[in-house]
Amino acid sequence: MDLETDIIIVGGAVAGAALACALAKYNFKVLVVDRRKDPGSMNRGDGLQPRTLEILEQWGVLQQFQQIPHIKSYGIELHHGVFKELMKIDLKPLSSSKYNYIMNIPHREIEQGLLDWANSYEHIQIMRGSSVERMLYNDQGNVSGVVIKTGKELTTCHAKIVVAADGGQSLLRKELSIKADRMVYNHELVVLHMPRPASFQGDLRTQVHLHRDGAVVLIPLPDQQMRITVVVPSGKASEWRKYSDNELLQQLARRVPMLKEISIFHREGEHVYKMVRMHADQYYAKQAALIGDAAHLTHASSGQGMNMAIQDADVLSKLLAKSLHGQLAIDEALALYEQVRKPINEDILSRSNFMSSVVFTPNKLLHAGKMFGMFSTRFLPGLRHKISSKIALGIAGVNQEETIRLQLSSVIEHM
Ligand SMILES: Cc1cc2nc3c(=O)[nH]c(=O)nc-3n(C[C@H](O)[C@H](O)[C@H](O)COP(=O)(O)OP(=O)(O)OC[C@H]3O[C@@H](n4cnc5c(N)ncnc54)[C@H](O)[C@@H]3O)c2cc1C
């Protein structure tokens, strides 16, 4: 079978689904192909930051998310057993965005919500349970389509543009011979779900409990639930998963005493998340583009992976639209996409990398020094305020807006 479309998006998780949403307002034919039949239940990040909320509002998707149960999280608190509250990153005073909170919705709902919304447009087609096997090339050596496998059937689909949103293991990135720096962290995350204790109610923020053996992060979720991510040295996660319920609670309470209050938890959705940092050298080649995890993998400590994917989609969609309208050559559009997004993403990767050393420091003396350093800022309130305000802008994602607007304004009017 042969198909023809304007844009093929390989991968229909957050990055691919977000790009389909961003393209919905233009009338191009878009085909999203994903090998999974449904989003699955695994958590893969659930905090939509202020900048992302602004983008979702512009697309028209946010209104749908506001209808489903969600939590408003007003920033991050860093705690320590001895030094108590080390720092509060407060989004409430944020004046540079209309949103001063992170919207926490389970990842599955975000992915499915974006796909459903895109699917409501006739010119956007979603193909689930089908896998892209390889790319097709034209006489100039540029990508001109893909071969899709559904069961035993092969379909050839030609397109003006192919976008790889096929995740960290991206087949397309490898086929395009795009090199990527990759670093595996010396720790991993055990992800658990429990009801929120009585002391974790009211004005909610993500709580990071720093500990010499590794931090425990409590993320408030709707329906009085919370996600717990426990930082453990690489290779130790399997031991944690073998603990009985009682042993697990004891281990958690040792790092976060308030978790003694917990008596029930559900182990479904429990998984191990291996931390990898990766950044592709290029965001495009042979007129095909990379977005989301296909282009970059970041440490989860700043909760940015999903937000970076949505923000990539926002910039790329505007430039692809210009190109398909014949107002910008495709090579120029893709070069500008890389020029705008790559430095921003590199900065996020570096900040998340710094945070990785806060949540896990194997050297106990160094850990104690870092904790004392943070504690000492209590005696320098001006400096403490400056640091926390800067981190708040980074978490909100609003520090990049003006740079993007300036860079794109040469080709796009009315940004
Ligand atoms: C286990 C796990 C836990 C995570 N937890 C967090 C977290 O706590 N915080 C955070 O910020 N981020 C987290 N992330 C990262 C975050 O989920 C991603 O950064 C973000 O959702 C963007 O994902 P993506 O759509 O680019 O890639 P992915 O979510 O990996 O999606 C890629 C999609 O492409 C499809 N695909 C791949 N190859 C093909 C092919 N050949 N043909 C068709 N389809 C294909 C896959 O089926 C998949 O649906 C986690 C990721 C994983 C894997």
Distances (CA, A) of 211 to 29, 229, 248: 51, 13, 16
Average pLDDT over residues 71-88: 93
Contacts 24+ apart (CB under 8 A), 233-236: 233/186, 233/187, 233/188, 233/360, 233/362, 234/184, 234/185, 234/186, 234/187, 234/188, 234/274, 235/188, 236/188
How close is the Cα of 21 to the center of ligand 1, in Å?
Answer: 17
- Does residue 17 contact residue 41 with C-beta atoms inside 8 Å? no
Question: Closest residue (by CA) to atom 44 of ligand 1?
Answer: 34
Q: Parallel, antiparallel, or unpaired: how do β-strands 2-10 and 153-164 relate?
A: parallel
CA 230, distance to chain mean position in Å, is 19
pLDDT, position 208? 96
Nearest ligand 1 atom to the CA of 168 is 30
pLDDT, position 262? 80
What's the CA gap between 370 and 358, in Å, rounded?
8
For residue 160, give both structure tokens. 């003006």
Distances (CA, A) of 158 to 148, 209, 259: 11, 51, 55
Lowest mean pLDDT among 85-89, 299-303, 341-345: 299-303
For residue 198, give both structure tokens. 């009585």
Question: Closest residue (by CA) to atom 10 of ligand 1?
Answer: 45
Q: How many Å from the N-terminal Cα to the C-terminal Cα in the chain? A: 40
Nearest ligand 1 atom to the CA of 130 is 43
Nearest ligand 1 atom to the CA of 111 is 21
How close is the Cα of 57 to the center of ligand 1, in Å?
Answer: 23
How close is the Cα of 368 to the center of ligand 1, in Å?
Answer: 35
Mutate to test the pocket of ligand 1, among 33, 44, 110 (most ligand atoms within 8 A of CB): 44
Give the pLDDT band of residue 115 (cuts 50, 70, 90): very high
How close is the Cα of 212 to the center of ligand 1, in Å?
Answer: 30
Question: Closest residue (by CA) to atom 39 of ligand 1?
Answer: 166
pLDDT, position 42? 74
Question: Closest residue (by CA) to atom 9 of ligand 1?
Answer: 45
Angle of helix 305-324 versus helix 330-359 axis, rounded to 10: 170
Nearest C-alpha neighbor of 159 from the set 172, 169, 177, 170: 172
Beta partners for 241?
none
pLDDT, position 73? 95
Residues 6 or more apart whose Cβ sits within 8 Å of residue 330: 160, 161, 287, 323
Average pLDDT over residues 204-208: 95
What's the CA gap between 168 and 397, in Å, rounded?
22
pLDDT, position 258? 87
Structure-model confidence comparison of residues 147 and 399, the more confident one: 147
pLDDT, position 201? 86
**pLDDT higher than threshold 60 for residue 415:** no
Mutate to test the pocket of ligand 1, among 293, 296, 297 (most ligand atoms within 8 A of CB): 293
Nearest C-alpha neighbor of 121 from the set 7, 258, 259: 7
pLDDT, position 264? 72
Look at the block and give the residue holding tokens 């609003």.
398
Nearest ligand 1 atom to the CA of 166 is 34
Radius of gyration of the chain (CA): 22
Average pLDDT over residues 406-413: 81
Angle of helix 50-59 versus helix 305-324 axis, rounded to 10: 40
Average pLDDT over residues 308-323: 97
Angle of helix 401-408 versus helix 330-359 axis, rounded to 10: 170
Pocket of ligand 1 (CB under 6 A): 10-16, 33-36, 42, 44-45, 131-132, 165-168, 171, 273, 292-294, 300, 303-306, 309
Lowest mean pLDDT among 227-231, 312-316, 407-411: 407-411
How close is the Cα of 113 to the center of ligand 1, in Å?
Answer: 15
Structure-model confidence comparison of residues 87 and 400, the more confident one: 87
**pLDDT higher than threshold 80 for residue 265:** no
Average pLDDT over residues 260-276: 82
Give the pLDDT band of residue 194 (cuts 50, 70, 90): confident
Residues 6 or more apart whose Cβ sits within 8 Å of residue 49: 102, 303, 304, 307, 395, 396, 397
Mutate to test the pocket of ligand 1, among 132, 306, 316 (most ligand atoms within 8 A of CB): 306
Mutate to test the pocket of ligand 1, among 166, 217, 221 (most ligand atoms within 8 A of CB): 166
Residues 6 or more apart whose Cβ sits within 8 Å of residue 189: 229, 230, 231, 232, 237, 272, 273, 275, 300
How close is the Cα of 207 to the center of ligand 1, in Å?
Answer: 24
Mean pLDDT of the chain: 93
Question: Closest residue (by CA) to atom 3 of ligand 1?
Answer: 44
**pLDDT higher than threshold 60 for residue 328:** yes
Question: Please, what are the domains in the chain?
Answer: 2-71+96-182+277-358+398-408 (3.50.50.60)
Question: Closest residue (by CA) to atom 30 of ligand 1?
Answer: 167
How close is the Cα of 402 to the center of ligand 1, in Å?
Answer: 28
Burial class (CB in 10 A: 0-12, 13-18, 19+), 382: exposed
Tens-place pLDDT, residues 350-409: 999 999 999 999 999 999 999 999 999 999 999 999 999 989 998 888 877 778 888 888
How close is the Cα of 107 to the center of ligand 1, in Å?
Answer: 10
Question: Closest residue (by CA) to atom 1 of ligand 1?
Answer: 273
- The pTM of this model reads 0.95
Average pLDDT over residues 316-333: 96
Structure-model confidence comparison of residues 230 and 403, the more confident one: 230
Lowest mean pLDDT among 100-104, 142-146, 211-215, 302-306: 302-306
Give the pLDDT band of residue 414 (cuts 50, 70, 90): low
Beta partners for 356?
none
Nearest C-alpha neighbor of 297 from the set 279, 316, 284, 315: 279
What's the CA gap between 193 and 42, in Å, rounded?
11
